[in-house]
Amino acid sequence: MRLSTYFLPTLKENPSEAQVVSHRLMLRSGMIRQTSAGIYIWLPLGLKVLRNIEQIVREEQNRAGAQELLMPTIQSAELWQESGRYDAYGKEMLRITDRHDREMLYGPTNEEMITDLFRNNLKSYKDVPKMLYHIQWKFRDEIRPRFGVMRGREFLMKDTYSFDLDEEGARESYNKMYVAYLRTFARLGMVAIPVKADTGAIGGDLSHEFQILAETGESTLYYDKAIEEFELHKLTGDIDADTISSLQGIYAMEEEKHDPATCPVAAEDLRTAKGIEVGHIFYFGDKYSKAMGAQVTGPDGKLVNVEMGSYGIGVSRLVGALIEANHDENGIIWPEAVAPFKVGLVNLRGKDEACTVASEALYQKLQNAGVEVLYDDREVGGGVKFANMDLIGLPWQAVIGPKGLEKGVIEFKNRRTGEREELSEDELLNRLTA
């Protein structure tokens, strides 16, 4: 993509409305624009990151055996009256009356709808276990939306629902998702700490929040350092039940529930860090299946309420959370797995014909090699181009200037470390396609 035609409206100044660094950087780097309180347009650069994250989330759901479907954003109020949550949900639910005066709502979550789908279509113990998920926009009418996409009103969520015959099966499904979540966040380049959590409005018996570590995090965590080591070593290949069980036994608490007096972790093993919640999983048994009559015939011919769980990842929130965890004073530093482009190509001297010829040639070669490249071919000075590339945070920068060309080299910069090397065109292509 050529920057001269790309729709990337970057800002030099910090927007006054943005209180947190991810919000500031997303506005400045031209990733998003607000249209109403807590509602955003995802501009081309932001959308690419969002889709990259979404795809990693999807792949790990599929790997865990969950099947993707897509539920609509607008729901009928009737199902929520059946579950008892229509009144309970309060003002965060965006309530709508259609032209025929039917009560509708913009879904904040989908337990009711998926339970209804299940009861209408699946009847036998042979139909379970089943894990179904979708990645869809949700709406929560927050009283005070803030922090950009971290606490927006319209947000993209991946929500999975599991259906099992009994508690044992339901806990297996829960553990599959637990592992899928650790894998997802590891692929995004994050350490995620699973923290035992309250079940709140969803209800139920067992719940973990997944918090990624970031200095600017909203909550303070205390955890046994073993959890970090565990994740680094154990997250490849199949994970057996014992391993999951011991992982879930490792201490991790939010500050409000952490009591130094009773904490079982030795002081030298206890770590504390700030975290941002990016996922939440629940096992809630028959709370919805009982209320809504989602039953299957067991092997013995008797009807049983299915055992359910639900599992959310805030996909759009993750964009902000990743920036909170990956930035410096100059801008964003994207992990390779989610970067909107792999490399930024800077033509340092657009009026120098040799520079332009070399830049155009490298741009073509990178595209031919399938490397996602953003080519700054604009007629602006080198300082503006460098600042812009640092701001948008592509993992690598390739700079073509007159001095380098004389020596036959291109400057190759690692955005995260700041390390610069001088490479020949062939070396650079090898590095980016390896």
What is the binding site for its own copies (CB under 8 A)?
A: 5-7, 9, 33, 35-36, 39-44, 47, 50, 65, 67-76, 91-92, 94, 96, 98-99, 102, 104, 106, 113, 116-117, 120-122, 130, 132, 137, 139, 141, 143, 153-154
Q: What angle do CA 280, 284, 285 make, to 5 degrees?
A: 150
Considering the complex, what minimum distance in angstroms separates the CB of residue 370 from its own copies?
Answer: 15
Distance between CA 36 and CA 112 in Å, rounded? 28
- Pick the closest to residue 308 from 13, 110, 80 (CA basis): 110
Considering the complex, what minimum distance in angstroms separates the CB of residue 137 from its own copies?
Answer: 6
Q: Which is nearer to its own copies, 71 or 304 (CB)?
A: 71
Q: Which residues contact 94 (CB under 8 A, 6 or more apart)?
A: 105, 106, 108, 139, 140, 141, 153
DSSP three-state, residue 104: strand
Q: Which is nearer to its own copies, 68 or 166 (CB)?
A: 68
Q: Which is nearer to its own copies, 39 or 354 (CB)?
A: 39
Considering the complex, what minimum distance in angstroms separates the CB of residue 335 from its own copies?
Answer: 21
Q: Which is nearer to its own copies, 36 or 417 (CB)?
A: 36
Considering the complex, what minimum distance in angstroms separates the CB of residue 154 from its own copies?
Answer: 5
Q: Which is nearer to its own copies, 194 or 344 (CB)?
A: 344
DSSP three-state, residue 156: strand
Considering the complex, what minimum distance in angstroms separates the CB of residue 162 from its own copies?
Answer: 12
Under DSSP, the state recorded for 151 is B
Considering the complex, what minimum distance in angstroms separates the CB of residue 416 from its own copies?
Answer: 27
Considering the complex, what minimum distance in angstroms separates the CB of residue 232 from its own copies?
Answer: 31
Q: Is the dihedral of CA 89, 104, 57, 28 positive or negative?
A: negative
CA distances from 368 to 7, 186, 373 (A): 23, 30, 11
Q: Which residues contact 371 (CB under 8 A, 6 or more apart)?
A: 342, 343, 432, 433
Q: Which is nearer to its own copies, 130 or 196 (CB)?
A: 130
Q: Which is nearer to its own copies, 11 or 232 (CB)?
A: 11
User: How many CA atoms does the CB half-sphere of 325 hold within 13 Å?
Assistant: 26
Per DSSP bridges, beta strands 410-414 and 373-376 are unpaired
Q: Which is nearer to its own copies, 62 or 272 (CB)?
A: 62
Q: Tokens 């179904």 sit at which residue?
A: 132
Considering the complex, what minimum distance in angstroms separates the CB of residue 308 from its own copies?
Answer: 15
Judge contact between 244 and 172, C-beta under 8 A. Answer: no
Q: Which is nearer to its own copies, 77 or 304 (CB)?
A: 77
Residue 291 buriedness (CB in 10 A; 0-12 / 13-18 / 19+): middle
Considering the complex, what minimum distance in angstroms separates the CB of residue 236 from its own copies?
Answer: 21
Judge contact between 17 and 33, C-beta under 8 A. Answer: no
- Pick the closest to residue 217 from 266, 173, 277 (CA basis): 277
